[in-house]
Amino acid sequence: MIKKAFFGFGKPKLRYSIVGNYEKESLEDIPLPSIAYLSVRDTFERVDELAIRLGDRVRTGQKLKLTVKSLHPFVSPVTGTIKSMLPQTRYSGEPSTSVAIEVMEDVWDEEFRMTAKTPSTRVVQDFLGSLPGQLELGSLLGLQPPLKTFVINGMDQDLLVTTNQIALKMGADHFRRGAEILKSIGGAERILLLVSSELAPEVQNSGLEVRVMDPAYPSMLPRLVMKSVFSKEVPAGKECETMGVGFINAEAVVSLGKAFAQFQVPVHKLFTVIRKNGSLVHGRARIGTPVKDVLLALQIGTAHGDGVVLGGPMTGRALLSDETPVLYDTDAVMVQDREEIVRSSDTHCVNCGECVRACPAHIPVNMLIRFLENGMWEDAVNRYDLLSCVECGLCSYVCPARIPLFQHIMLGKHEFARTKRMEEAHA
């Protein structure tokens, strides 16, 4: 467990966790929850806009739409009765709707089984647009022109998280099938699999181009992979997709292969649980399961002041409620003892330069934070390269003043994007 902020010259030497021998029996299956919570991208203003209503019965794997005119269908991961539909704001600031379903015994919907005889882009977008491990697979496959390269992450992006490695080890056969489907419907000229040296022998027969990666953090972040593997720098404010490269997690590829092998929409999420003492356990839960149910099943207790984080120690986000559900992109749940939490401070920058030395994007973070603290978003972008941040969290980790630099940066990016959207809407 990362306990203290790093202070010293040069960059901190942090390493990703690598899975060695793994026994399937060590995977903990979390029981079905009594209530499942889904986060739906759409919103509604009037009841007569809704395509689903309170009291409606839904089936496991059933394709649903929140509103009659919705462009974003979603799939129910459980069978049950819709109990509530409430507005919510996602961590990114995007408005959405929380749909609560009172869970019953599974009754599988048959529509996917009837249409999934032959894999196609349309079937994937309709039923598998979000897959365990990949929230936006449908968007990647729908880009025009198609992406030239798919990069499959066989490692995880944050420290202590080993979800993708476990997915590869557990689902080797489904992974190979998923890679074949991705190759046939994705239109990409090249598919590259990134793994650790320990996993490389196990994936040599995958039929993919395999690249062994240095497990030094934060080498697995997409923008850094673009530089180390493709010798390309992603321009500030742009995404890797604009350069023809899409990143997909190995768990999503396993889920894709499993979906067409079993003719069922994948409804379970694999994740790493990081206990208070830093030890790891791997869990598998139905999508929509509240985090409190996960901790209860794993007998992980929490007390007042303890922290629960979705994600790893570098880029995870603290939960406001333990009813927050496990979703398609929940790769880790981390529990922190209150005595071990590094508390943030409102101290002003002491100009030590540690953040600048640690930054892999060479951003002058010590100057950037001055503009972010004062809400000067455009100056932060135009003068101090806010949009070049790769979102690794090293700046916060090394800061001796314990300024929450990473959170300031994420807020700045969100506010700048929101301002631009408002300007475009009123242009």
- What string of H, E and C letters represents the secondary structure of the chain? CCCCCCCCCCCCCCECCCCCCCCHHHEEECCCCCEEEEEECCCCCCHHHECCCCCCEECECCEECCECCCCCCEECCCEEEEEEEEEEECCCCCEEEEEEEEEECCCECCHHHHHCCCCCHHHHHHHCCCECCECCHHHHHCCCCCCCEEEEECCCCCCCCCHHHHHHHHCHHHHHHHHHHHHHHHCCCEEEEEECCCCHHHHHHHCCEEEECCCECCCCCHHHHHHHHHCCCCCCCCCHHHHCEEEEEHHHHHHHHHHHHHCCCCCEEEEEEECCCCCEEEEEEECCCEHHHHHHHCCCCCCCCCEEEECCCCCCEECCCCCCECCCCCCEEEEECCCCCCCCCCCCCCCCCHHHHHCCCCCCHHHHHHHHHCCCHHHHHHHHCHHHCCCCCHHHHHCCCCCCHHHHHHHHHHHHHHHHHHHHHCC
Place of tokens 């995958």: 206
Global pTM reads: 0.93
How confident is the model at residue 10, as a pLDDT?
A: 55
- For the segment 49-78, what is each residue's pLDDT rounded down to a tens digit? 999 999 999 999 999 999 999 988 999 999
- How would you list the strands of the sheet with 317-318, edge to edge? 27-29, 280-286, 268-274, 332-336, 307-310, 317-318
- For the segment 162-183, what is each residue's pLDDT rounded down to a tens digit? 999 999 999 999 999 999 999 9
Q: Determine whether 26 is exposed, middle or buried from the number of CB atoms within 10 Å of its CB (0-12, 13-18, 19+).
A: exposed
CATH architecture of 114-262: 3-Layer(aba) Sandwich (3.40)
Residues in the chain: 427
How confident is the model at residue 22, as a pLDDT?
A: 55
Contact 257, 181 (CB under 8 A): yes
What distances in angstroms separate CA 165 from CA 46, 190, 230, 377, one per listed residue? 45, 22, 23, 38
Domain ranges of the chain: 35-109, 114-262, 354-425
The token pair that represents 86 in the structure block: 């409430």
The token pair that represents 299 in the structure block: 């007998």
How confident is the model at residue 11, as a pLDDT?
A: 65
How confident is the model at residue 277, as a pLDDT?
A: 93
- Collect the ranges in the chain with pLDDT lower than 50: 1-9, 25
Output 305-310 pairs: Cβ under 8 A, ≥24 positions apart: 305/338, 306/276, 306/335, 306/336, 306/337, 306/338, 307/334, 307/335, 307/336, 307/338, 307/341, 308/333, 308/334, 308/335, 308/336, 309/333, 309/334, 309/335, 309/336, 310/334
Tell me which CATH code domain 35-109 carries.
Answer: 2.40.50
How confident is the model at residue 2, as a pLDDT?
A: 38
How confident is the model at residue 9, as a pLDDT?
A: 46
How confident is the model at residue 3, as a pLDDT?
A: 36
